[in-house]
A and B are shown apart, each in its own frame.
Chain A
Amino acid sequence: MSTQTAMDSGRRAAAAPPGGLRRLMQRRSTIAVMMCVPLLAIVIGLIAYPFLYALFLSTLNKAETKFVGLDNFFFLFGRNTFWMVVYQSVLFALTAVVFKVLIGFAAAHMVNNIPAKGQRKWRGMLLVPWVIPPALSTLGWWWLFEPTYSAINWVLEQFAAPAIPWLSDRFWARFSVILVNVWFGAPFFLIMYLAALKSIPEELYEAAAIDGASAWQRLVHVTLPMMRNIIAITVLFSIIVTFANFDIVRVLTQGGPRNSTHLFATYAFRLGIETGDVPLGAAVSLFMFPVLAVFAFIILRNVRRRAREI
């Protein structure tokens, strides 16, 4: 900075005293940097550094005494449970997000169709699942799925349908986890899509109607394109959150039956905290990162490109 100041002062002989302007600018950016220090501390100290530490941890042996390179990863590749976890995590993420998007989108349209006065009430009721801490609402679902006392099975009974082994059968256990996940997450999509729907200018619909578009065509040619950005962002966030989900599986099935509902998070918890093999747990949870990074990159690039168009 000081050599710059000297050069400037030589050039601007008739003007400000040398260094005065630079001092002013420096003061401003010093304040700015100081204001960001706490944020930086958190991002670097509690996010970036632990992430790198996890990479390091995953290369140690269980007792953390010696460096074993990629052995932990190879070990995991050889375990059948691990591949089940991969399959289940991807299955949950994609299935749950698809349903959340569909339900959220449909519900948002319904709410938008009713007169404005009543919308607030309905919207309020529909957002409740998302406000209840998931660990606690999952307790309620656990009770609803309880083998002997399941209230849902009671309803099925009334219609002479067979009782469903919600948590003890592989297929139904996975179904239950996805169901609870969708129940919990759909309201978020509802809220975001409702806001996005309201921001689409009426004139576009009016122009489309004059051009002769049917309701379905208006949906496809006006609504969806205008909402591309928000759909992309919500899908990205939801994939990440669902992929990394812990609460629901932990409370509902603890990863069972027979590891058929384990996700990366719960499996890492089982290996890392419960059996005390921290490096192995770190290795498991690190598998999440590349997948998330890829998704984030793809969708972000789309979003940036489209934002520039608008």
Chain B
Amino acid sequence: MAGGGASEVFFKGASQRRDRRWALVASYACLTVFVIFFLFPPYYMLVTSLKTNAEIAALNTNPWIIEQGMTGAHYVHLLTETAFLTFFKNTVIVTVCVVAITMVVSVLAAYALSRLKFWGSGLLATGIFLTYLVPDSLLFIPLFKIVGALGLLNSYWSLVLVYPTLTVPFCTWIMIGYFASIPRELDEAALIDGANHMQMLLKVFIPVALPGLIAATIFAFTVSWAAFIYPMAYLYSTDQLVLTVGTVTTLIRGDVFHWGGLMAGALLAAAPPVILYAFLMDYYIAGLTSGATKG
């Protein structure tokens, strides 16, 4: 098995070409195993969501394939007779607001921290990194009291207040990386061309760092959509719930045969981030790894 990425350089002769092909086959085989491992749960969720209740309950069928005909009944039931669409609406509202807030705060702060050196800028940059030491599972309790004091308990607006703690630090960090990679001469050319700081940010920095912006937006979206502990702690009424909590807590009924609907709900709730990812995968990955190559 070849280690490192320089395999092509070393395999020239015929026997080495055979080695190389064997190594390639081994790689593909391993990758297939990995892909099966990573994709079988969502696959199974999909299969279950399309099965009839009878088939799900029957113990003698192969659970991995649909033998008795597909049905969309679970999805129909989900969309028409549960509060799923309410959850969806709430989640969209919260996510859109949080993404907007996050991007404005992060971009402004990242521009100031990467370009306008001022007293304490280094301190603040380190401070952002340190916020990772205070995870949501620590903050949710004191914030519970604070949100209560603000009268926002059991309202999804509490999430709009609290989610930026999850998204802003990382998004700022991403944007600082992208802004820092813009050569200073571009600033100076813009200065001489007559731009003030706002114009420089809007007309030069943002367009040039657009990939970073897209990556940060996707990240903020995905995190907001998937957040779980905060809505679990702060929301009670069905009409206020977001998708993650709503699917987990309300779609489980007492009887055994709710699995089809539950899987349908889980898949539909998970769909937006996955679709976003499918289209913008490269930006997402680039944003995540922008720190990897610089360390």
Question: Could you tell me which A residues sit within 8 Å of B by CB distance?
Answer: 28-29, 31-33, 35-36, 38-40, 42-43, 46-47, 50-51, 53-54, 57, 103, 106-107, 109-114, 120, 122-129, 131-137, 139-141, 143-144, 146, 148-149, 151, 154-155, 183, 186-188, 191-200, 202, 205-206, 209, 215-216, 218-219, 222-223, 229-230, 233, 237, 240-241, 244-247, 250-251, 264-265, 268-269, 272-273, 278, 281-282, 285-286, 288-289, 292-293, 296, 303, 306-307, 310
Contact = CB atoms under 8 A, between A and B. Distances in A.
Interface residues of B, number: 103
Contacts of A144: 41, 44
Interface in B126-147: 127-128, 130-146
Contacts of A216: 3
6 contacts: A32-B121, A57-B141, A109-B4, A112-B5, A199-B293, A209-B9
A200 B4 contact: yes
Given A151-B44, A250-B232, A54 B6 contact: no
A57 B56 contact: no
Nearest to A297: B133
B24 interface: yes
B137 A50 contact: no
Contact of B38 (A125, A251, A273): A125
Interface of B: 1-7, 9-10, 23-24, 27-28, 30-31, 34-35, 37-39, 41-42, 44-45, 48, 56, 59, 62-64, 104-106, 108-109, 111-113, 116-119, 121, 124, 127-128, 130-146, 161-162, 164-165, 168-169, 172, 197, 222, 225-226, 228-229, 232-233, 243-245, 247-248, 259, 262-263, 266-267, 269-270, 273-274, 277-278, 281-282, 285, 288-289, 291-293, 295
The secondary-structure label for the interface of chain B is helix
Contact of B165 (A42, A129, A186): A42
A133 B138 contact: no
Q: Which of B142, B145, B282 has the most CB of A within 10 A?
A: B142
Contacts of A183: 37-38, 41
Nearest to B20: A113
B6 A209 contact: yes
A76 B7 CA distance: 56
A292 B266 CA distance: 32
A122 B130 CA distance: 34
A282 B292 CA distance: 35
Contact of A240 (B31, B133, B145): B133
B38 A149 contact: no
B63 A154 contact: yes
Contacts of A50: 139, 142-143, 146
Contacts of A296: 130, 132-133
Contact of B142 (A125, A205, A206, A282): A282
B114 to A, nearest CB: 10
Nearest to A28: B116
B270 A137 contact: yes
A139 B162 CA distance: 25
B41 A140 contact: yes
B168 A42 contact: yes
A51 B138 contact: yes
B263 A289 contact: no
Given A39-B168, A128-B42, A268-B141, A230 B63 contact: no
A73 to B, nearest CB: 15
Given A42-B168, A133-B225, A191-B288, 17 more contacts: A28-B197, A36-B113, A43-B124, A46-B164, A114-B31, A132-B274, A139-B263, A139-B266, A140-B44, A146-B259, A192-B289, A199-B293, A205-B9, A206-B9, A240-B133, A273-B144, A288-B138
List the 6 closest A-B pairs by CB distance, nearest first: A133-B226, A265-B137, A205-B6, A195-B289, A32-B116, A244-B135
Given A215-B3, A223-B3, A303-B295, A132 B248 contact: no
Given A131-B273, A148-B59, A191-B289, A43 B3 contact: no
